[in-house]
Structure 1
């Protein structure tokens, strides 16, 4: 077993280790993405090219009034029934399959491959998939609980947002009535509300990011351990390591989303099947890097918090003694 794989690492070394494992197992990871995500990507491409080309906002001629726009939208809706049907199929079937099947099993397979490297073992993709499939029930249960927790946080956030907007609206209405002839104070009031709104959005984003990092390492635990669904264990493992994990995730996430943004801009400028396929291939190349970082970070947290390195070294010593005695 490579002893260097069982030492706590800083952000730089974690990133380096992730890229090292990614290079060593690139063929397995790419084949895994090809098996799991290529059909999903092709389905997305078909939706984009054929059906889900709905505009985010309907086009409004400049000479129209809001009344004319409303009347035209009711009489001539820009989203036909086939597009709406495809959208429901995408939301109710395609996304649940991605969240409940593709993501847990593929991440589980990457976890098995990375653990094999840490233990000095060569794990085939077939073996990794078999082990992940055996634990799919636990992976699914953990994913559902995690998604419900995030959805609950979303509902709470929306409720708080609506309440604050209502309070701000009342306050702004009162200030406008009291300062009817004071333009500068009205402007300051509007600026103050805008600043509070931006701060509220920042708190919301930070809250979601914090929750995702603190609870997000549930999948490897659900795969490798027989106790719990992993959310409590993830919270325990990430205690005191939030900023370090956030730093590495930010670096890799920035790379991933910059490339995705460039591909998206290419599609907007001249959308074609080739552009869509290029984006799909780039996603299949980049996504394993994020998965590898995620799994390597999990094992690093195990080493820091639960002495994973000591347990593995003791196990290795026992295996050497047993082999020597035999």
Structure 2
């Protein structure tokens, strides 16, 4: 077994291990994502070309290059909004992406589990393993999505009603109360989703569906640290995506080439997120297994005494 997986890791060690794995296994992980998402990104580019978007540089109206680039986003968007066929295609691309992306994540999770056990694997073999868990992943993800929507919708209603009625009674207190409620609900929702978010790893590796109970047990006593890691990974991924978007859009406008570049960057950032999730999940398994072993030893010692 890979020694880095043998012991529980701290906050910084998880980040370090994530980037180390991403670097050492970059070819495998990137290829997995490219196999799943590459055809979708290619289809998106073709649809843009058919909608009349320029390949190299898309500019709009304006006297300066900044105005022209900005107007290219405002005027054309990504696709022609009046083309119903293109709109339908966009929906299809989105649905296919939502279905295939979790399978790609599962394949990366299987690959990292093989690395943990010092087992040989191929990209094809982990993709086959990922597809073997397709339906459990699909239905568990739908359930998690429904739960997520439910626990987000209710607080939004409460905050909105508080803001409206509070503003009528006392504008300052109404707005302040709504802000405090929003922050409280945001933290609570974040903690709950963090506790349940490892359902995916449970479904894939532990073959336990829907995996919500398993995730809740694994993340016990680690919720704040895990949510902090999610925030850090989100900031890293967002910073990379934003930097690339701003840099290339400044001279490419809203062109097809910009979309391709951004999509390639998305593969890279998705890889970091997927590897980070896998490292976090396997770290939780290590901690949980160690705790179980410790409890068994304590029970044995108690009985022998």
On whether the aligned pair clears a TM of 0.5, the verdict is: yes
Of 237, 243, 252 in structure 2, the residue corresponding to residue 262 of structure 1 is 243
Equivalent residue runs for 1:29-178 within 5 Å: 29-45=29-45, 82=82, 86-87=86-87, 89-91=89-91, 93-99=92-98, 101-172=99-170
Distance 1:138 1:308 in 2: 28
Larger Rg: 1
For 2:283, the equivalent position in structure 1 comes to 300
Does the CA-based 8 Å contact 1:263-1:275 persist in structure 2?
A: no
Aligned length: 267
Matched, 1:273 2:256: yes
For 1:215, the equivalent position in structure 2 comes to 196
Unmatched runs of 5 consecutive residues or more in structure 1: 54-78, 173-188, 311-326
After TM superposition, give the deviation of residue 123 of structure 1 in Å.
Answer: 1.3
For 1:22, the equivalent position in structure 2 comes to 22
RMSD: 2.9
Q: 1:287 to 1:227 in 2, by over 3 A?
A: closer
After TM superposition, give the deviation of residue 80 of structure 1 in Å.
Answer: 8.3
After TM superposition, give the deviation of residue 110 of structure 1 in Å.
Answer: 0.7
After TM superposition, give the deviation of residue 81 of structure 1 in Å.
Answer: 6.6
Matched, 1:7 2:7: yes
Distance 1:309 1:27 in 2: 36
Distance 2:244 2:237 in 1: 11
Distance 2:177 2:248 in 1: 36
Q: Helix, strand or coil: the match of 1:307? A: helix
Distance 1:220 1:255 in 2: 22
After TM superposition, give the deviation of residue 209 of structure 1 in Å.
Answer: 2.2
Q: 1:126 to 1:143 in 2, by over 3 A?
A: same
Q: For 1:158-216, what per-residue CA distance to the aligned partner results, in whole angstroms no more than 9, with x for missing partners?
A: 322332233224324xxxxxxxxxxxxxxxx4x43333333233234323322321111
After TM superposition, give the deviation of residue 38 of structure 1 in Å.
Answer: 2.1
After TM superposition, give the deviation of residue 25 of structure 1 in Å.
Answer: 1.3
Distance 2:104 2:11 in 1: 24
TM (normalized to structure 2)?
0.77
Distance 2:202 2:82 in 1: 42
Unmatched runs of 5 consecutive residues or more in structure 2: 54-78, 294-305
Distance 2:203 2:287 in 1: 19
After TM superposition, give the deviation of residue 309 of structure 1 in Å.
Answer: 10
Does the CA-based 8 Å contact 2:237-2:269 persist in structure 1?
A: yes
TM (normalized to structure 1)?
0.73
